[in-house]
């Protein structure tokens, strides 16, 4: 009886460990955005087109395009600025020159924290591609998850 119970408990533990936790915007990504990104990409930041029109003005104020909501953030993953969040946050391991994206350094105070947060974003996105809209295939686009 004891062996059976032990086997059953070990089986449940294995199943729970083998099921990777689903990464969602609300539970995982928003807290990272709130602590690491919102000071520059918050509600007082411009919409994408407004940022593009007056980029130097916004950059001089330390502001980038708005990304403080799920709807704003996925714009930089799927469409219209496909792959932008991936290009900006990538650690350089997916680029020919090995150079990290310009926002990678803001993912954490240490390399360990940056890698941990990058991994969350990669799991959330699913298909971590640096491709732009004109380069991405339908299959690659469909592989993007970005769960709310």
CA distance 8 to 64: 52
Look at residue 19 in the predicted model and tell me its pLDDT: 56
Look at residue 129 in the predicted model and tell me its pLDDT: 94
Every domain of the chain and the residues it spans? 25-142
SS3 of residue 34 by DSSP: helix
Please give the full DSSP string across 59-93, using - where no structure is assigned: HHTT--S---SHHHHHTTTSSSSTTHHHHHH--ST
Look at residue 17 in the predicted model and tell me its pLDDT: 39
Look at residue 7 in the predicted model and tell me its pLDDT: 45
Residues of the chain with pLDDT under 50: 5-18
Q: Are 40 and 51 in contact (CB under 8 A)?
A: no
CA distance 124 to 76: 13
pLDDT digits (tens, 9 = 90+) for 74-106: 999 998 899 999 999 999 999 999 999 999 999
Q: Are 64 and 44 in contact (CB under 8 A)?
A: no
CA distance 135 to 19: 33
């Amino acid at each position: 009886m004891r062996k059976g119970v032990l086997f059953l408990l070990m089986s449940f533990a294995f199943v729970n460990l083998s099921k990777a936790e689903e990464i969602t915007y609300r539970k995982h990504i928003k807290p990272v955005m709130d602590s690491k990104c919102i000071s520059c990409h918050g509600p007082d930041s411009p919409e994408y087109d407004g940022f593009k029109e007056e980029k130097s003005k916004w950059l001089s104020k330390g502001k980038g395009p708005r990304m403080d909501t799920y709807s704003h953030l996925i714009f930089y993953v799927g469409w219209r600025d496909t792959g932008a969040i991936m290009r900006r946050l990538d650690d350089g391991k997916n680029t020919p020159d090995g150079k990290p994206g310009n926002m990678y350094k803001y993912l954490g105070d240490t390399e360990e924290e940056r890698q941990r947060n990058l991994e969350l974003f990669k799991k959330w996105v699913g298909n971590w591609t640096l491709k732009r809209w004109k380069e991405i295939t339908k299959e690659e686009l469909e592989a993007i998850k970005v769960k709310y």
